Amino acid sequence: MKLYQVAHARAGDKGDTSDITVIAYRAEDYDLLERQLTPARVKDHFAGMVHGNVTRYELPQLGALKFVLENALSGGVTVSLALDIHGKSLGSLMLDLELGNDTRDGDS
């Protein structure tokens, strides 16, 4: 199952840092996101694009996880020649992450 089936995302930037917040559509899917979306897994998903740390902040009251991806925007808006200098498309790329067999309500 792809992440976009259980969540949506918002992305932003500050300099060379991108932040992506993943928000569960249903409150009962937050635990699945919390288990599956580790900083290591997110960094692996963005291999070759994110050259710094990935930090996760948990917002259970919102059913959301916020990820801060350092060194992810080719230097940032003022120096990058990348097509998406603000990193807005990284939210869509995040939603393409394949979730493991740990699906909702224990179903596979």
Q: Which residues, listed in sequence order, are joined to residue 7 by a DSSP beta bridge?
A: 24
pLDDT surpasses 60 at 89: yes
Domain assignment present for residue 13? The answer is yes
Domain assignment present for residue 107? The answer is no
User: Which residue segment(s) compose the domain that 96 sits in?
Assistant: 3-102
Q: How confident is the model at residue 107 (pLDDT cuts 50, 70, 90)?
A: very low
Look at the pTM and tell me if it is higher than 0.85. Answer: no
Domain count for the chain: 1
**Pick from 9-13, 38-42, 46-50, 74-78: least confident:** 74-78
Domain assignment present for residue 28? The answer is yes
Domain assignment present for residue 108? The answer is no
